[in-house]
């Protein structure tokens, strides 16, 4: 699949290429540069989606590139927690474990049903959860752990992953940028005509 050279795609590619660098910073215990580069990654994540929508630079390849970069950020975040805030795994292990299981479980479901690991749904619930997670990690690594915020982020994550499971189950083929389960069911006849598929 050819990737168009656009600013959103360049930002997504930057996030993806920075993943090994940030993981190396985590491995070597360099928390401050890790936090700086991780926050930059989170900012570029917000920017690429905004620019793509604002200037009509969305593409199937861009959606998938952004999704893979999101997975990289997900791995970085939990690796950072493991290195610098490992107490979360001992004190809140069930909460984190359930979310990780749902996250990768829906990816496995996508692979088994459609033959691809990433469908690029980009539902609203996923975007909201992503923003909440980004804010949580910024607070965690710059201020400290806020328990009620942690629970809010976890519950939002559970709901968004369950919505993706439902979309995976109901859709005949993965749909790019579907807004969510409600909008899919509302426009099911249109989606059944296989418009806007990857």
Domains identified in the chain and CATH numbers:
7-191 (1.20.120)
pLDDT value, residue 184 = 87
pLDDT (tens digit, 9 = 90+) per residue, 99-152? 999 999 999 999 999 988 877 777 899 889 989 998 999 899 889 999 999 999
Interval 110-122: pLDDT, tens:
999 998 887 777 7
Structure tokens at 37: 């580069």
Q: Mapping DSSP to helix (H, G, I), strand (E, B) and coil, where does residue 135 land?
A: helix
CA distance 96 to 107: 17
The Cα–Cα gap between 121 and 21 comes to 28
**In whole angstroms, how far apart are CA 30 and each of 82, 87, 156?**
13, 18, 30
The mean pLDDT value for 77-93 works out to 94
Q: Which two tokens stand for residue 86?
A: 């490992």
Q: How far is it, in rounded angstroms, from Cα 12 to Cα 32?
A: 23
Q: Which residue has the tokens 């990780």?
A: 100
Question: Between these two residues, 135 and 62, which has the higher pLDDT value?
Answer: 135
The C-alpha atoms of residue 27 and residue 92 are separated, in whole angstroms, by 22
CA distance 162 to 101: 11
The number of angstroms, rounded, from the C-alpha of 27 to the middle of its chain's C-alpha atoms is 22
Query: Residue 62: pLDDT band by 50, 70, 90 thresholds?
Result: confident
């Amino acid at each position: 699949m050819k990737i168009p050279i656009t600013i959103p795609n360049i930002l997504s590619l930057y996030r993806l290429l920075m993943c090994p660098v940030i993981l190396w910073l985590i491995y070597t215990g360099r928390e401050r540069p890790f936090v700086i580069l991780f926050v930059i990654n989170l900012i570029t994540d917000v920017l690429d989606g905004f620019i793509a929508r604002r200037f009509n630079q969305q593409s199937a390849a861009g959606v998938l590139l952004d999704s893979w970069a999101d997975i990289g950020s997900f791995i970085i975040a939990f690796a950072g927690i493991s290195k610098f805030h490992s107490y979360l795994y001992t004190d809140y292990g069930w909460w984190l474990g359930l979310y990780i299981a749902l996250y990768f479980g829906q990816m496995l479901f996508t692979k088994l049903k459609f033959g691809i690991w990433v469908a690029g749904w980009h539902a609203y619930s996923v975007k909201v959860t992503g923003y909440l997670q980004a804010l949580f990690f910024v607070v965690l690594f710059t201020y400290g752990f806020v328990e009620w915020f942690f629970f809010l982020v976890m519950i939002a994550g559970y709901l968004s992953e369950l919505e993706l499971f439902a979309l995976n189950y109901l859709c005949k083929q993965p749909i790019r940028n579907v807004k969510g389960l409600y909008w899919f069911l509302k426009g099911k006849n249109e989606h059944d005509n296989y418009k806007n598929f990857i």
